[in-house]
Amino acid sequence: MSVSAVGYIWMAPEEALNAELVERETQKLRAYCQANTIDLMDVCVEDAVTGNALERPALSALLQMPQVVVVVPSLASLGRRFHDVAVVIGEVNNRDIRLIAIEEEIDTERSEGQQLLRFFIKVPQVARMMRHPVKERPRTFVRSREVLHNGGTCPYGYVLNEATNQYQVMPLEGNVVKRIFRERLSGRSLRQIANDLTRDGIATKRGGRWQANTVKTILENVFYTGAYQCQNRLYPNDHEAVITEELFQQVNSHTDIVQMA
């Protein structure tokens, strides 16, 4: 489902009337939105307006739009001073607005964006400006066109939601994947893990017995961290993760995967 958004660019006084810079920033907004299935309805440019960030006419009007999604090229588009950025982010939280900062890879609807808001709350000057605590939002994943499912095999532990074209974790299979990673990290061999899964009556994706190679394929698949790898390019935060990236790295940093098979 396409998301509608409005772009915002603030030009500092030293950048006033720089049409080339505005065009570059605008193209950045358009490219990001196109890649992430976001409908960019408009781009608001505020040129060399100084003073309180929330008193800028275009930004003030934008933040009062209902259910608006605001996309900026970077946090610098909100202001050059920490205070300006903090004030705007505080208002974003108060109004339950989704903010996307492209350069910093921040999306307040995702977990890392929520962490940013929590960081600002801990700063005393900002805490006084925040009328409400950070709101927990359900995590969503905006998938770029390059990684939309094209009919390939769905990995063990996931099911493809045909309505949304998104991968969803199957709880029971997801727990099996977690078990495989935990047991591997504890030192068990691929064959031991496979035999135990078969003994416990757990079926593979195709309903057969577990083999060492099947376990090895799961352990080496970065997909379980929520990332999608395609043509040597990695797309992080593409879908719900089953394991943490830290656990994946811990397991795959072992050099004795053949010896322990």
CB 137 within 8 A of CB 110: no
Q: Hey, where are the domains in the chain?
A: 3-127, 150-252
pLDDT greater at residue 128 or residue 178:
178
Q: Which fold has domain 3-127?
A: Rossmann fold (3.40.50)
Instruction: Dump pLDDT digits (tens) for 79-137.
Output: 877 777 878 887 887 788 889 999 888 888 877 666 666 665 555 444 444 444 555 55
Closest of 10, 19, 12, 176 to residue 88, by C-alpha: 10
Q: How far apart are CA 167 and CA 172, in angstroms?
A: 15
Q: Which fold has domain 150-252?
A: Hect, E3 ligase catalytic domain fold (3.90.1750)
Residue 223 has pLDDT above 70, yes or no: yes
Residue 145 has pLDDT above 70, yes or no: no
Q: Give me the residue label for tokens 């993760």.
A: 241
Instruction: Dump pLDDT digits (tens) for 39-75.
Output: 999 999 988 677 778 888 888 888 888 888 999 998 8
pLDDT greater at residue 224 or residue 259:
224
Q: What is the largest CA-CA distance in the chain?
A: 71
